[in-house]
Amino acid sequence: MPHPLSHNAYGKHRVRVSKIKRSANDPQHHEFIEATVAVTLEGDLAESYTLGDNTNVVATDTCRNTVYAKAKDDPFDTIESFGVTLAEHFLSQYDHLTKATVELREHRWHRLDGHGHCFTGSDGETPTATVVAERGQATTVSAGLDDLMIAKTTQTGFENFHRDEYRTLPDTDDRIFATVLTASWDYASADTDFAAARAAIRDAMLAKFTDHYSKSVQETLYLMANAGLDTCADATSITLTMPNKHHLRFNLEPLGRTNDNEVFHVTDEPYGYITGTVTRQ
Cα distance between residue 96 and residue 91, in whole Å: 8
**Which of 141, 129, 145 has the alpha carbon at shortest distance from 241?**
145
Catalytic residue among 36, 60, 139, 236: 60
Q: Is 158 annotated as a binding residue?
A: yes
Catalytic residue among 12, 30, 89, 208: 12
Q: Report the SS3 class of residue 24.
A: coil
- In the residue annotation, 215 being an active-site residue is answered as no
| Consecutive H or E run containing 275 | strand 275-279
What is the Cα Rg of the chain in Å? 24
Phi, psi of 83 (to 5 degrees): -60, -40
- SS3 assignment for 185-251: EEECCCCCCHHHHHHHHHHHHHHHHHCCCECCHHHHHHHHHHHHHHHCCCEEEEEEECCECCEEECC
Q: Is 244 annotated as a binding residue?
A: yes
Catalytic residue among 107, 245, 246, 277: 246
Q: Is 15 annotated as a binding residue?
A: no
**Which of 235, 239, 147 has the alpha carbon at shortest distance from 199?**
235
- In the residue annotation, 246 being an active-site residue is answered as yes
Q: Is 218 annotated as a binding residue?
A: yes
Residue 241: partners with Cβ closer than 8 Å, 6 or more residues away: 181, 182, 183, 273, 274, 275
Instruction: Give the distance from CA 166 to its chain's centroid.
Output: 36
Q: Is 25 annotated as a binding residue?
A: no
Residue 259, Cβ neighbours under 10 Å: how many? Answer: 13
- In the residue annotation, 139 being an active-site residue is answered as no
Amino acid, res. 179 = T
151 and 141 Cβ atoms separated by less than 8 Å? no
| Known binding residues for 5-hydroxyisourate | 60-61, 158, 175, 217-218, 244
| Known binding residues | 60-61, 158, 175, 217-218, 244
Q: Which residues are catalytic?
A: 12, 60, 246
| Known binding residues for O2 | 60, 244
